[in-house]
Amino acid sequence: MSNRLAVRQTGALARRSVLDTLRLPQAWFPSIFFPLTLMAIFTGSFTETFSRVPGFPDVPSFLDFAVAGAIVQGILIGGTSAGAAFATDIEGGFFDRLVASPVSRAAILLGRLGGSVALGVGQAVLFIGIAVLFGARVEGGVAGFVLVLVLAAVFAVAVGGLGVYLALRTGSSEAVQGTFPLFFALMFFSSAFFPRETMDGWFRTIADLNPISYLVEGMRDLIIVGVEPRPTLISFGVALALAGAAVGASALAFRRRLGDG
Amino acid sequence: MIARAITVSGGLAVRNLLLVRRMPSVFLPALIMPVFILVATAGAFGGIGAIPQLEDSSYLAFTVPLATVMGGGFAGINAGMTLARDIQGGFVDRLVASPAPRVVLILGPLIAACARSLVTTTAVLAAASLGGVFPPGIVGTTVIYVMAALFAAATACWAMGVALQTRSVQSIPLMQIVVFLSVFLSVAYVPRELQTGWLRVAADLNPVTRILEASRATEFEGASWSTLGPGLAASTLLIVGLGLFALAGLRGLGRR
């Protein structure tokens, strides 16, 4: 099979994945509604207090601080939905028909991940756009904005890959959806909503060990500080490591499901 | 008639409570989530406790009423979830065809929701004790339990009303989202004096604010009618309003 054909197939399957999500409000609504609502509630709750909290970074407003957490949360929720949609394809037999057809096997996997990337970047643009409308600023300028989108894309590959892995291993959309509380916990036990410097004890230790902390902090620095090499590189390192592990695991699970591995 | 209604309601309440053991995957999250909310909120936003308005207390103590009231909310949502499953499974149809008065369909799960809120409140208070925040005496602790149970009754009426109107388990997310929003659009994270903009307006108008404030004020300052009164009035308002919503759904049962 020519590479050109495989690329076209990947594009078609990515398009299908995006349209599938957009067609079902229950698939995209939570990943937009919950992060935006929490961002608004936290901004209303902490705008008056954050500057008096010892250890809180110097930011013009809490909204600027909250945007990165909302983007990562949206991608986590969206990735769960994408994984559940892939599991629905397996349950409904579409996956088997696809495998039996001359479609490239890599395209099946990459198409789904491409869909996750498109939705993740779309969410990031939407959340930053809404925050800017309400007075937030991206201190990193155009370069910072583009880097945030690239980070969002790499993280979307990681979460989408994990969703695909879970779908391939369980073959059940309910089981994939059931992992949502775990992602929710990962967000809260990180610096997604409040800085690590304000935490203490065992909670701080978990936040220090949680990769989501470093991912959000790099993204947040691009918004509230500007383009600084160290946090950006750490954030990209974490996102790439997660994406590599998730894609590798989903490729292995794919082979195992087909009986090749 | 009344004696029969009480007996059947009691039976349905016991059935609802026994389902906790038979379907743990449905009910365990409702027990774990309030403790998770306590730990995650107090841990993530603990730094807020250092500002002057809150420095007399730990943020963990400030978060206890949020978690107990949320636990009541989860207990109430479970009543609606169970009723939606019973409607789809045909159990409600059999009960409607029996000589038992229809009102038992909401009274039984309502009692079970209040009873279940006692368990979630105990779990939250036990978790807070592990963190060094102990229950505030007999009267204060009783108020915390009562406020959570009243919110459980209100949310049970809401969730059962939705179940009776939609007759589908697909309405469960609607039950959950409204309860979550009602709590988070109150004084969940900081006192009203520290809120700004639209959230302050929403919290002023939200009856759940009074319930949380009653529980919180009793925890920190002891029980007094000036703080307890608005909480009890708000709970009564919610239970009556949402109870009428559930009864309206009950009246429509069997018509479609």
Mean pLDDT score of chain B, rounded to an integer?
A: 89
Show the domain range for A95. 3-257
Write out pLDDT tens, residues B44-83: 999 898 887 776 678 999 999 999 999 999 999 989 988 9
Residue pair A60/A137 in contact (Cβ under 8 Å)? The answer is yes
> Could you tell me the two tokens for B220?
């920190």
- Say yes or no for a CB contact (<8 Å) between A193 and B44: yes
pLDDT, residue A66, reads 97
ipTM over 0.90: no
Average pLDDT over residues A242-255: 95
Name the residue of chain A whose CA is nearest to B33's CA. A181
Q: Considering only the beta carbons, identify the residue of A38, A53, A201 that sits closest to B48.
A: A53
pLDDT, residue B195, reads 94
Write out pLDDT tens, residues A54-84: 889 889 899 999 999 999 999 998 888 888 8
Threshold 0.90, pTM exceeds:
no
Average pLDDT over residues A187-211: 94
In angstroms, the separation between the Cα of residue B110 and the nearest Cα of chain A is: 27
pLDDT, residue B254, reads 63
Residue whose token pair is 């009164």: B229
- Say yes or no for a CB contact (<8 Å) between B195 and A44: yes
In angstroms, the separation between the Cα of residue B54 and the nearest Cα of chain A is: 11
Residue pair B220/B191 in contact (Cβ under 8 Å)? The answer is no
Distance separating alpha carbons of residues A64 and A43, to the nearest angstrom:
9
Q: In percent, how much of chain B has pLDDT > 90?
A: 59
Closest CA to B243 of B132, B113, B126, B141: B113
More confident residue, B155 or A182: B155
Instruction: List residues in chain A touching B: CB distance below 8 A.
Output: 26, 37-38, 40-49, 52-56, 181, 185, 188-189, 193-195, 198-201, 203
- Say yes or no for a CB contact (<8 Å) between B51 and A49: yes
Average pLDDT over residues B149-174: 92
pLDDT, residue A213, reads 97
> Residue B234: left (phi > 0), alpha (psi -120 to 50), or beta?
alpha
pLDDT, residue A70, reads 97
Task: Please state the domain count of chain A.
Answer: 1
Taking one residue from A and the other from B, the number of pairs with CB-CB distance under 8 angstroms is 81
For chain B, the structural domain boundaries read 2-251
Q: B 14-43 residues with CB below 8 A of A?
A: 29, 33, 36, 39-41, 43
pLDDT, residue B73, reads 96
pLDDT, residue B20, reads 67
Distance separating alpha carbons of residues A204 and A198, to the nearest angstrom:
9
| Whether B52 contacts chain A with CB within 8 A | yes
- Whether the pLDDT of residue A1 is over 70: the answer is no
